[in-house]
Structure 1
Amino acid sequence: MATNDEIILKLMQHVSDELENISTKVNRLEQSKERNEIFLARQRELLNENIQATNKAFREVIEENPPIIQETHHSQYILFGKDSPFSSKLLLSVITLLLVCIPMIKYVPPFFNERSALKEEKDHYKLFYDYVFLNAFEKTKTVPTEIVRTMNEIKAGKPIYSNYVDSLNTQYHIHLKKENLKAELQKLEE
């Protein structure tokens, strides 16, 4: 049998051989890594050179043939047709609505103003009629048939009353003019 020293020596030799193998492998790996880094650095340099050459070529082409930029401010509005934002039904509805609303805007406010003035005037005449009717009733203590008959004949549309009122109205205006002229003459005399 081999002695302990021989076994230890053999074992140490074996460890030494393995360490040398590992060392050579590590050296090879380091060398290949350095080669790869050198290769990658060269590849980057080549790539950068290609990019710069391409940029330079593009700039030269653009300088020789500048791009034509056309700015148009042309707006096109389409009211009818398939490209229109309005459908024909919507457009007809809007036109109809406008045609209905324009007369309303034009004639409705004056109509309401007239109507309110007419209502106010009607209320005044009703109050006056009630005053005359009830005043005649108070004086005679009977129904004033003369006033009722006159009102019914006016409602029936007999022209005799309108002619009579027109002639009285003319006389009244003449009387007012005479009074105004007399008042002016008195002012002039003073």
Structure 2
Amino acid sequence: MQKKHRCGWCVGDALYEAYHDQEWGVPVYDDATIFEFLILETFQAGLSWITVLRKRENFRAAFDAFDYKKIAHYNQDKIDALIQDAGIIRNKLKINATVTNAQLFMKIQEEFGSFSNYIWSFVDGKPIKNNVKNYKEAPPTTAISDALSKDLKKRGFKFVGSTVMYAHMQATGMVNDHEVACFRYGEV
């Protein structure tokens, strides 16, 4: 049996490979899932994605299954409990930013009908399909991630720099940066 070719960044780690094979680069239009990735990407800032991925289920438990409506109303006691939770990344600034971002996420929903409508408008509603031969060739940012980051920051979002937003775009399928030889390239 011939082994499937995967993007080089995930090869050799079962959790990474499963994430790559099932989720990474699949277009996401559901606000709840988009928010989950937004939380995870903001916590990843400055760290490796595998660190966050290994703690994903702990994040899910700690942050009420990524329910942005609940997170938007977290009080100081809940925030303090999260800061003490060894199962997640205990960064006070990122935890506070998650609460703020949840509140602002809902404001965008009110303005655009959904967060999906807002974020996908940056790519005209359809994925950008790149031609990456080696994952190391993928850019860390683009003009689109710059614009998205700038707009989110203008609205008050935190930890949404252009690099974070480009990673979010890759994860949620707004851009297809699978290597062209990867079996997922044509599937997503």
On whether the aligned pair clears a TM of 0.5, the verdict is: no
The structure in which a higher percent of residues are helix is: 1
Return the structure number with greater relative CO, CA threshold 8 A, min gap 6.
2
Give me the TM-score of the superposition, normalised by structure 1. 0.17
Larger Rg: 1
